Amino acid sequence: MGRYNRRVIALVIAPLAGVLALTALLAVGGRGVDAGIADDLINLALLGYATVCAGLAARSASGRLRRAWTVMTVALSAWTLGDATWFVYEVILRQEVPVPSIADGFYLMFAALATVAMTQFVAEPMRQSRVRIVLDSFTVTLCLFLLAWVLVLHDVFDAYREDRAAVVVAFLYPVADIVMLTIAVVTLMRTTGGQRVAISLLAAAIAVMAIADSAYTGMVADKSYQSGDLIDAAWAWAAALFAAAAVVSRAAPTPRTPGLPSPSRASIWLPFVPLLLAGTIGPMVIMSGLERFLVPAIVVAVCVRQAVSAWENRRLVTAAVDHALQDPLTGLANPTMFGERLAHAMMLRARIDRSVAVLALDLDDFRLVNENLGHDAADRLLIDVGRRLADSVRPGDTVARIAGDEFAILLEGPYDASDEIAHKVRAAFDVPFRVDEQDILLRPSIGVTVASMTEPDLVPATVQRRAVIAMHAAKRVRSRDVHTFTADMLAADGELTEQLAERRQSTGGAAELQLLGELRNAIDNDGLGVVYQPKISLRTGEMVGVEALLRWPHPRLGTLLPDAFIGLVRERGLIQRVTRIVVDLALDDAARWHEQGLRMPVAINLFAPCLRETDLPELFDAALTCRGLAADLMTVEITEDVVLSDMTTVTAVLGRLRAHGIRVAIDDFGSGYSSLSYLRDLPIDEVKLDRHFVAPVTTDARAAAVVRAVIDLTHDLGITVVAEGIEDEQTSDWLRRHSCDIGQGYLFGRPVGAADIAVMATSGTHA
């Protein structure tokens, strides 16, 4: 009960205190009219309280749970009417209550309705489960009936043998109690989660009632019952337990939508308890001689044997259920479990003011881990990523591995903590991962969306898709920042990414296959192109070079940026071919500019696998020579956060490129962990400061101090400094004052075609 608040505990204790008072009253006061009147009034008050609590539980519940508590409310109302009728007979009319009476009709109505209510508390998703419940119920009913017959019913039958109506009523009470108790036991076996306490209280209430009814039936049979008897306190205890169950049910979490059934521990031993009781007490009462001990011993041995088998089966079933709902590599939730929990969270959101947010995360350039370190190392890395994500969230949040290097986090609670958790997740990647004696810094792209209460018809699939769209937005700009979904992300490239993802999901990969075929055709038939972004000297304002950027003029989807298809390039081993195309196109344009008297250096991005090609320097040198271009007109850019598993080979390749006169630059400097070691270990000519490294220099003194130090350090090493992503004059002026060499960004010009570059260079202007 520790998780329930003080108000709930008070509502539970109140009726129990009343029962204790009644028990003390009956124990001290004994039998009699006064004791009977007090007993009847307290019982009526407790039953009224239980009925109200059940009604409130029904109003706050939903689905099968609402139906169960609604029927239970009607049942408790019938019991209350039965006690009220008894009170009229005994106190107002002052006559002995006949057998049978109108009160008996209400009591039996309660038993029937309570039985129906108990069947509604647990939904069984599988036919096999329902068959097992029927068999368990039949076994428990027979055992309890045998026990009741041995202890009470055979005496009742003998006492009422001549009065058929009295015999029927006398038998209906214990039989109804046995059926109710059976359903309660079976329901408790199948209950999991927050409602287990409430169902346990209901089962206890029915068990107490069964004992009280059986005792009452026996006392009436031998004419020893009188109003105000201590046995009346048992019915009061049952009413109090019904009230407590209703109160606890309102405070407990709403049960999740049934998924794969996992048997509880109670399902192992509860079906055998009635069998043990009937098989031990019964023979010892009705048998004599050695068999009165042998039969119970045999029953005990059989029950123990079956319980052990059931325990072993439960372990196997639980393992299968866990495997079906967990990612086998990381142990996190899999997409099935994540979808179920998201649907449950959205259901709660529709009923109460509850925050639901989804965070989508993808590891940038993770394919390079597989390519360079192998799949085993990549799997170990994913396990470590899963641990860090799980450590970054709150208890109750759900972390799932959706596919490959894609993860999702469900955040649900009374308030929106998505921003706080998202930044904790991002910070978890600031420390490098240790894999095969190497420090690897992974950078995630993170998108998050919060299910707004202004959209009541929002469905779980839309919420998850929005988080993925926000994550794609972060990936397109290679941003460390957490991107929160906005409507404009559906436009332009965001809309294209969403369309491709939806088509892939709806067509089972057909859209991806179609896109791959079109990509191969574009590669084979000169269908890819490049555009160029100017690089401007911050000291003179002149254009001193360009960066070549890949584009795919798709005939059906429009011009695609690399993010829309670069995954296919990597997956299908097309990196080298695409790199050759970009190099040829860029050098062809550089040669045309040269023929026009325009000396324009070109920077070209290289993927990590290209740096393992030992003949790469000679291929590039030959490409320059055949076009009559000087080697220093070409700069190769490598991304600073790329995983480089073979530094010896990479360093040798870069050294030979420089030996041929080709310049080497580190792109996105400041976005990864190994920045300073790259400056120390790699032969480079140029450092390109990452846009997110540069952006805060005019507003953040600490960021400005770091950038100043990097500029001074690289100048001391004889390295040129290029600042990327400059979008305003203030940033440009600051960089100029602090001796940054070259600027690149929308302030100086967006990516344009080769002809526009020639016009801009000759006119001395930039767009």
Confidence of residue 430 (pLDDT cuts 50, 70, 90): confident
Look at residue 601 and tell me whether its pLDDT is greater than 80.
Answer: yes
Q: Are 58 and 66 contacting, i.e. CB atoms less than 8 angstroms apart?
A: yes
Query: Quick one: 252 exposed, middle or buried, by C-beta within 10 A (0-12, 13-18, 19+)?
Result: buried
Confidence of residue 587 (pLDDT cuts 50, 70, 90): very high
Look at residue 385 and tell me whether its pLDDT is greater than 70.
Answer: yes
- Report how far residue 449's alpha carbon sits from residue 470's, in angstroms, rounded to the nearest whole number: 8
Tally of CA atoms within 13 A in the half-sphere of 85 that contains its CB: 16
More confident: 467 or 34: 467
Q: Which helix (H) or strand (E) holds 27?
A: helix 6-29
* Percentage of the residues of the chain whose pLDDT score is greater than 90: 20
- Report how far residue 566's alpha carbon sits from residue 606's, in angstroms, rounded to the nearest whole number: 13
> What is the predicted pLDDT for the residue at 686?
92
CB proximity list for 632: less than 8 A, separation 6 or greater? 601, 661, 662, 663
Nearest C-alpha neighbor of 424 from the set 456, 402, 446? 446
368-372, 650-654, 708-712: which is most confident: 708-712
Confidence of residue 494 (pLDDT cuts 50, 70, 90): very low
Confidence of residue 289 (pLDDT cuts 50, 70, 90): low
Confidence of residue 323 (pLDDT cuts 50, 70, 90): low
Average of pLDDT values for 714-733? 92
150-154, 233-237, 392-396: which is most confident: 392-396
> What is the predicted pLDDT for the residue at 302?
64
Write the DSSP assignment of 111-167 as a string of letters: HHHHHHHHHTSS---SHHHHHHHHHHHHHHHHHHHHHHIIIIIHHHHHHTTT-HHHH
> What is the predicted pLDDT for the residue at 534?
94
More confident: 291 or 106: 106
Confidence of residue 503 (pLDDT cuts 50, 70, 90): very low
Confidence of residue 664 (pLDDT cuts 50, 70, 90): very high
> What is the predicted pLDDT for the residue at 122?
63
Q: Are 373 and 435 contacting, i.e. CB atoms less than 8 angstroms apart?
A: yes
Which pLDDT tens digit goes with each residue over 242-265? 888 888 887 765 554 444 445 555
Q: Are 578 and 526 contacting, i.e. CB atoms less than 8 angstroms apart?
A: no
Within 459-574, residue ranges assigned H as helices are 460-476, 492-507, 510-524, 566-571
> What is the predicted pLDDT for the residue at 663?
94
More confident: 173 or 710: 710
Q: How many residues does the chain have?
A: 767
Q: How many CB atoms lie within 10 A of CB 524?
A: 9
Look at residue 126 and tell me whether its pLDDT is greater than 50.
Answer: no
> What is the predicted pLDDT for the residue at 508?
45
Confidence of residue 738 (pLDDT cuts 50, 70, 90): very high
The pLDDT mean for the chain works out to: 77
> What is the predicted pLDDT for the residue at 735?
94
Look at residue 630 and tell me whether its pLDDT is greater than 50.
Answer: yes
Which pLDDT tens digit goes with each residue over 515-549? 777 888 888 888 999 999 999 999 999 999 999 99
> What is the predicted pLDDT for the residue at 388?
93
> What is the predicted pLDDT for the residue at 632?
92
57-71, 79-93, 190-204, 538-552: which is most confident: 538-552
Q: Are 333 and 398 contacting, i.e. CB atoms less than 8 angstroms apart?
A: yes
Confidence of residue 627 (pLDDT cuts 50, 70, 90): very high
> What is the predicted pLDDT for the residue at 41?
79
Global pTM reads 0.45
CB proximity list for 180: less than 8 A, separation 6 or greater? 111, 114, 115, 118, 206, 209, 210
- Dihedral Cα 93, 95, 96, 99, nearest 10 deg: -60
Between 147-151, 277-281, 677-681, the lowest mean confidence (pLDDT) is in 277-281
- Report how far residue 294's alpha carbon sits from residue 307's, in angstroms, rounded to the nearest whole number: 20
Average of pLDDT values for 79-107? 79
What number of helices (H) and strands (E) belong to the chain?
28, 16
Q: Could you give the residue numbers annotated as active site?
A: 724
